[in-house]
A and B are shown apart, each in its own frame.
Chain A
Amino acid sequence: MKGPLSTEHVEDRVRSTMIRRAEDMAAGDGAAWDPTDTVRPLGRRALTEHPPRSRPLAAVVAVVVVIAGAAAGLGVANHDDPSRRADTTAGGDADRPRAEGPFEGEVPRSTTPPTVPGPDSGQILGTTLATYVRTTDGAVVEVRWFPPEALELPNPPGSEDLRAGGYRANYWEGSDQQVSSLALFFEDGILRINGDEVGMREDLLAFADGVRRIPGRTEPEVTPPPGYAPG
């Protein structure tokens, strides 16, 4: 039944709805972040409901970046659950979890030797807030960095000291449907995954299929942060 409502009543409904939905959002965030996990339940559900390859606007990848202090020299440990990752490699099935790969079994290893860090390989081009990594094929990938306190992400196993010495980043694009997360570590200015130097195209781009690539961007916009630029 519809009928005239007072302005005050409508205002109250509008206000209470907004407050309720804002609280829902905050509560949902809290519940979604399992302190022992880095993949949101929403993202896992979305993998089967909305495969990213079927939706051009939903090229979604979350890349979790931990920047170790340049002199820290700490080991790297992957902290993702491989069973929760989608296969977003070229020709892969986004609905199907990855089966094999170098990172505890989920990411296909590059068939090419690791590239030697240099101006065209894993170069960090940005700031500590938004950075760009140039790949071996010349593409530039944007990775976003967040202060660690804001992310509420767990430290990778064995790397508790990283929180004090660096940043964590969570990359989103287009949607909150997190396809996968990936831990990247910078040691001595070199981008590594599980201690291996990264062959960017195969190990990052193919894995993180939806990472934003910046067409035509080949030069850094800003000076790399001290200690994080490859030597």
Chain B
Amino acid sequence: MAGGAAEGRAAEFTRLYISERDRLRRLVYLMTGQTAVAEEIVHDAFLRVHDRWEDIEAPAGYLRTVVVNLCRAWRNRAALARIRTPRSRGWVDPPEVDETWQLLARLPHEQRAVLVLRYYEDLPDGEIAALLGCRPATVRTRIHRALRKVREEMTP
């Protein structure tokens, strides 16, 4: 019986993995700008969920929280690391997309994160605040400041 329960848990975890992995990778990519980091962070998050599987009531939500936290931790570490040579991409985007992407990349992590969670994930202030561990008013302030920075540099 224990084996059956374990198999059931494994299957459940696999379903979560398959359903959430790519979405989360895109989320992390937008927050960090690096596909490798996205791969790494998402896998780390799954590892943590796996380790705590029995104790987690809402794995998908927990997973997203872990991912956001790991993005923040990564950003803190990256700030201490030497600047790496940007890699070439395998695709070409319109100039306005490239420009906006570069502007987003220059934002402080906490501002970029709120923009991703707002405009890509379409989360309300309260959920963003919960994910980032701050108040909703802080979320609104960060969004406002981030958009202002982007707008100042954006080509009409």
Contact = CB atoms under 8 A, between A and B. Distances in A.
A128 B97 CA distance: 40
Interface stretch (B56-64, B65-73, B82-90, B134-142): B82-90
Given A14-B100, A172-B39, A176-B36, A32 B90 contact: yes
Given A10-B151, A177-B36, A57 B119 contact: no
Contacts of A175: 36
Contact of A55 (B18, B84, B154): B84
Interface residues of B, number: 47
Contacts of B150: 10, 13-14
B115 interface: yes
Contacts of B96: 13, 17
Interface residues of A, number: 51
Interface in B94-142: 96-97, 100-101, 104, 115-116, 119-120
Given A55-B84, A149-B14, A26 B22 contact: yes
A17 B100 contact: yes
Nearest to A167: B14
Contacts, number: 121
A18 B116 contact: yes
B35 interface: yes
A72 to B, nearest CB: 17
B156 A3 contact: yes
Contact of B29 (A3, A25, A57, A172): A25
B35 A2 contact: no
Nearest to A17: B100
A32 B97 CA distance: 22
A16 interface: yes
A45 B89 CA distance: 11
Nearest to A149: B18
Contacts of B155: 1-2
Contacts of B156: 1-3, 5
B41 to A, nearest CB: 11
B147 A10 contact: yes
B93 to A, nearest CB: 6
Given A22-B29, A57-B84, 20 more contacts: A2-B153, A13-B96, A13-B154, A14-B119, A15-B120, A18-B30, A24-B91, A24-B93, A25-B26, A32-B90, A42-B90, A45-B88, A55-B84, A58-B84, A128-B10, A150-B21, A172-B36, A173-B40, A176-B34, A177-B36
9 contacts: A1-B155, A10-B150, A13-B100, A18-B120, A22-B120, A49-B87, A50-B85, A128-B10, A176-B39
Interface of B: 10, 14, 17-18, 21-22, 25-26, 29-30, 34-36, 38-40, 43, 46-47, 50, 81-82, 84-85, 87-91, 93, 96-97, 100-101, 104, 115-116, 119-120, 147, 150-156
